[in-house]
Structures are given as C-alpha cells and as structure tokens.
Amino acid sequence: MPLQQQFNYPLAIIKEVLDAQSIFWLNLDIKIDTDSQIPKIILYNAIQKFHNLNRSKEEQSILKTEITRLVNFWKKQKQQIENVIDDLKIQEKKVKKTIDY
C-alpha cells in the first residue's frame, strides 16, 4: 500500500466513537478489511501491543516515582530512629551521672 494512498473512513460523532457497539465501528471494520487488505487480527494485535507499550511506559514512570518516594520515606524513618537512639543515650548518660553522685 503506497504511503500517499488515502482511505475514506466513515464519519462519526463522538458518541458513536465512544460506543463500542455503534455502527461506526462495524463500518470502520468493513472499510479497513476492504481497503487495506490487512486482516483484523493483525490490526487488533498491533493496537493491543501499542496500548501495552504505553501502559508499560506509564508504569515505569510511576515505579520510578514510587521508589523515590519510598527511599525518601525510609531515610526519614531512619533519621527519626537515630534521633530517638541519640536522645536515649543522652538520657542514659544523665541517669548514670546522677547515680554516680
């Protein structure tokens, strides 16, 4: 199929496009079958792989953000624990001093 070849796809309003059961989709399927000679299963697989790739990219982006958030959270937790330990050591030293006197 030459790149310059244009298809006359059926016109549709947004309501028809959003309705998976509308006549628009049936007409589009028929038009693609007759004009492009590409089996529907190949087109559907290509669309599914495209959506999976985009979803994968989104998940990778979310994963990076989530890992960064978790690392920052655990750094803060560690610092809080170290602060409590330091406070306890200081209190322990004070108690030992008072006992020694």
Q: Which band of pLDDT confidence, cut at 50, 70 and 90, is reported for residue 18?
A: confident
pLDDT digits (tens, 9 = 90+) for 67-97: 999 999 999 999 999 999 999 999 998 888 8
DSSP track, 41-70: HHHHHHHHHHHHHHHHHHHHHHHHHHHHHH
Q: What is the DSSP letter of 22?
A: S
Contact indicator for 7, 31 with CB cutoff of 8 Å: yes
pLDDT recorded at residue 10: 63
The model's pTM: 0.43
pLDDT, residue 36, reads 75
